[in-house]
Chains A and B, each alone.
Chain A
Amino acid sequence: MSKLGLWGLKKSPWVYHLAAAPCNNCDIEILELLTPRFDVERFGVVLVGSPRHADALLVTGVINRKSLPRVLEVYEQAAKPCLVICIGTCTGDKHIFRNSYNAVGPYDKHLPVHAFIPGCPPRPEAMLLGVVKALGKL
């Protein structure tokens, strides 16, 4: 990708909220992040309704046998380059589901993940920091 496009990507990351079997805790915090109080539009972050428009997927929830194929499909439908940002402890080390027969490992075993944001749920400030760090790595 050219320099201009990379600059554009850093200045206007559109996010798609991908709730893959979460307990809704992280999702409520994501909605909190998108409220006027935190004003993420300052950084060009906009919530989009279709994975085709997305520059970053905000994935929440413990990864399991049923949700994994769906998540992979949405990732394949997204226009590349597309970041994957995993929100919540469940997405990384499975949290309280670590002994479950149904949980199939952290997300980076299946997808190229750019950032894990731990917390149950993480605070909106932490998510913002995670997105900024993921963009800084590009």
Chain B
Amino acid sequence: MIGWTGWRLAFSLLIFPGFLFTVLVGFVLSWVDRLVTARVQFRKGPPFIQPFADFFKLMLKQTIVPEGASALVFLFAPMLGVIAMTVATVILWNASFGGSGFVGDVLVLVYLFALPPLGLIIGASASRNPLAAVGASREMTLYFGYEFPFLLALLVPIIKSGGQVQLEALVAAQAGAPFLGSVSGVIAAIIVLLVTQAKLGLVPFDTAEAEQEIMTGVYTEYSGVALAMFKLTRAMMMVVMPLFLVTVLWGGFASWWAILKFLAIIVLVVLIRNTNPRLRVDQALRFFWFGLGGLGIVAVILALAGI
């Protein structure tokens, strides 16, 4: 017997705030991404149905496992990101819709966010391709780069809410005024925004898949269903990362107006992507550690001072 709670958990994981819903929203957002990019370049852009067509095509194409690659690891690695993002999205939506949270779910989220790049690194390393290996090494460097300012930025809402590590409590602490209204909140939001950029692999920080240098880097050997899973992870991250920013710093999903906050963050991310050149991986590392890291320390000090 699974029981009522079990069915509800399965439903929330697989259908409503979980997998299916996030994938649908993610596809719409990746269409918004491509549309805004097209408009910046004075183009018409792809039709609304485009991300769905891409996905179904990849699902039904041949999946090749390269000779000499570790087949199990190569095919399992793409699933890692999908699973992590499914769980992360359920935790995040529950915080806003008043579902069941638990103490420390913010910290669980930090670990779940680490899984998609990990899957990418493992998969690329298992594919036995020199270009993918270069991509994996760059992805690893980038990950160690952005995790430090990300954790510092995450400290700001925790300090401002008086040491709460539960998403529900963070949202409740912002009931009157969101943390974004303060100086430290603004700095933290800027850091989270730029880390979102790096986590999504968008232009200033897309060294791991730089087309002009290393083909498509980490994705080089992937085809068919496995590549579709990576695209799915990326579409889900396009929902999860802005949702995280809205939840911890911008007051959560208190009303339907929050959809506008969501779109504003996405459009900002796409505009940053379209107006910046790619950084080399050492430049990106220096930017994250000494630039954003320093800003993060300032934000934490300001938060402790209550500004």
Contacts and interface: CB of A to CB of B under 8 A. Distances in A.
Contacts of B211: 49
Q: What is the predominant secondary structure among interface residues of chain A facing chain B?
A: loop
A77 B127 CA distance: 14
A55 B45 CA distance: 20
A11 B50 CA distance: 7
B127 to A, nearest CB: 10
Contacts of A11: 49-50, 53, 57
A39 B216 contact: no
B46 A79 contact: no
B220 A5 contact: no
Contact of A39 (B38, B59, B219): B38
B223 interface: yes
Interface in B54-73: 54-64
A17 to B, nearest CB: 11
Interface residues of B, number: 34
A52 interface: yes
B42 interface: yes
B153 to A, nearest CB: 33
Interface residues of A, number: 24
Nearest to A76: B64
Nearest to B52: A8
A11 B54 CA distance: 8
Given A36-B41, A36-B42, A41-B43, A52 B223 contact: yes
Given A49-B211, A53-B227, A79-B64, A42 B46 contact: yes
Contacts of B304: none
A98 B165 CA distance: 74
A80 B53 contact: no
A44 B60 contact: no
Contacts of B227: 52-53
B54 A44 contact: yes
Interface of B: 34, 38, 41-47, 49-50, 52-64, 211, 215-216, 219-224, 227
16 contacts: A2-B60, A5-B61, A7-B53, A8-B53, A8-B55, A8-B60, A12-B50, A41-B38, A41-B46, A48-B216, A52-B220, A52-B221, A52-B223, A79-B62, A79-B64, A80-B61
Interface of A: 1-2, 4-5, 7-9, 11-12, 36, 39, 41-42, 44, 48-50, 52-53, 55, 77, 79-81
